[in-house]
Amino acid sequence: MNPEQRFSERAKGREGSEIRRLFKMSMKPGIISFAGGMPDPGSFPSKKAAEVREAGLRERGEILLQYGAARGDDRLIEVVLERMQQKGVEAGPRNVLITSGAQQGLDLCGKIFSDPGDVLLVESPTFIGALGAFRNYRAELAGVPMEADGIHLERLKGSLEALRDRGIAPKFLYTMPNFQNPSGITMSREKRRRLLEIAEAYDFLIVEDDAYSDLWLEGSAEDVRPIKALDTNGRVIYLGSFSKIVSPGIRLGWALGREDFIDRFEMAKQMMDVCPSPLIQAMVVGLSEDGFLERHIAELRGIYRSRRDAMLTALMRYMPDGVFWTKPKGGFYIWVTLPEGMDAVALLPKALEKNVAYVIGMAFHADKSGRNTFRISFCHETEEIIEEGIRRLGEAIAEAIR
Ligand SMILES: Cc1ncc(COP(=O)(O)O)c(C=O)c1O
Both 175 and 53 in one domain: the answer is: yes
Please name every residue paired with 52 in a beta bridge, in sequence order, or none if there are none.
none
Q: What pLDDT is attached to residue 29? A: 83
Sign of CA dihedral 28, 31, 37, 43: positive
Domain termination residue (choose one: 272, 291, 310)? 291
pLDDT tens for 293-336 read: 999 999 999 999 999 999 999 999 999 999 999 999 999 999 99
Both 35 and 80 in one domain: the answer is: no
Both 11 and 117 in one domain: the answer is: no
Both 310 and 195 in one domain: the answer is: no
Residue 242 per-residue DSSP state:
S
Integer Cα distance of 376 and 334 in angstroms: 5
Instruction: Determine if ligand 1 sits within 6 Å of the CB of residue 103.
Output: yes
For residue 380, what is the domain's CATH number? 3.90.1150.10
Q: What pLDDT is attached to residue 28? A: 80
Mutate to test the pocket of ligand 1, among 98, 99, 103 (most ligand atoms within 8 A of CB): 103
What share of the chain in percent tops pLDDT 90? Answer: 90
In whole angstroms, how far apart are CA 19 and each of 9, 22, 278, 361? 21, 5, 36, 10
For residue 84, what is the domain's CATH number? 3.40.640.10
Instruction: Determine if ligand 1 sits within 6 Å of the CB of residue 37.
Output: yes
Both 190 and 86 in one domain: the answer is: yes
Instruction: Determine if ligand 1 sits within 6 Å of the CB of residue 240.
Output: no
Q: What pLDDT is attached to residue 111? A: 98
Domain termination residue (choose one: 264, 291, 318)? 291
Residue 211 CA, ligand 1 centroid: distance in Å: 6
Cβ pair 318, 391 in contact under 8 A: yes
Cβ pair 236, 187 in contact under 8 A: no
Give the ligand 1 atom nearest the CA of 248.
9
In whole angstroms, how far apart are CA 372 and each of 35, 36, 299? 16, 19, 35
Instruction: Determine if ligand 1 sits within 6 Å of the CB of residue 99.
Output: no
Instruction: Determine if ligand 1 sits within 6 Å of the CB of residue 101.
Output: yes
Cα 367–Cα 369–Cα 375 angle in degrees, nearest 5:
115
Give the ligand 1 atom nearest the CA of 37.
14
- With a CB cutoff of 8 Å and minimum separation 6, the contacts of 339 are 322, 323, 372, 401
Residue 128 CA, ligand 1 centroid: distance in Å: 9
Residue 109 CA, ligand 1 centroid: distance in Å: 14
Both 159 and 272 in one domain: the answer is: yes
Residue 183 CA, ligand 1 centroid: distance in Å: 14
Give the ligand 1 atom nearest the CA of 127.
1
End-to-end Cα distance, the chain: 52
Residue 81 CA, ligand 1 centroid: distance in Å: 20
Integer Cα distance of 210 and 231 in angstroms: 15
Positions of the chain with pLDDT under 70: 13-19
Task: Pick the closest to residue 396 from 356, 337, 345 (CA basis).
Answer: 356
pLDDT tens for 336-349 read: 999 999 999 999 99
Q: What pLDDT is attached to residue 13? A: 64
The domain tally of the chain equals 2
Please name every residue paired with 207 in a beta bridge, in sequence order, or none if there are none.
174, 237
pLDDT tens for 180-205 read: 999 999 999 999 999 999 999 999 99
Q: What pLDDT is attached to residue 101? A: 98
Both 167 and 105 in one domain: the answer is: yes
Residue 332 per-residue DSSP state:
S
Residue 181 CA, ligand 1 centroid: distance in Å: 9
Task: Pick the closest to residue 29 from 347, 352, 346 (CA basis).
Answer: 352
Q: What pLDDT is attached to residue 19? A: 67
Integer Cα distance of 71 and 67 in angstroms: 12
Both 325 and 233 in one domain: the answer is: no
Integer Cα distance of 154 and 158 in angstroms: 6
Domain termination residue (choose one: 291, 318, 340)? 291
Both 33 and 159 in one domain: the answer is: no
Mutate to test the pocket of ligand 1, among 181, 245, 250, 335 (most ligand atoms within 8 A of CB): 181
Task: Pick the closest to residue 68 from 267, 240, 278 (CA basis).
Answer: 278
Residue 164: count other Cβ atoms within 10 Å of its Cβ: 12
Both 300 and 263 in one domain: the answer is: no
Both 62 and 19 in one domain: the answer is: no
What is the extent of the structural domain holding 159? Answer: 48-291
Integer Cα distance of 44 and 49 in angstroms: 9
Both 194 and 218 in one domain: the answer is: yes
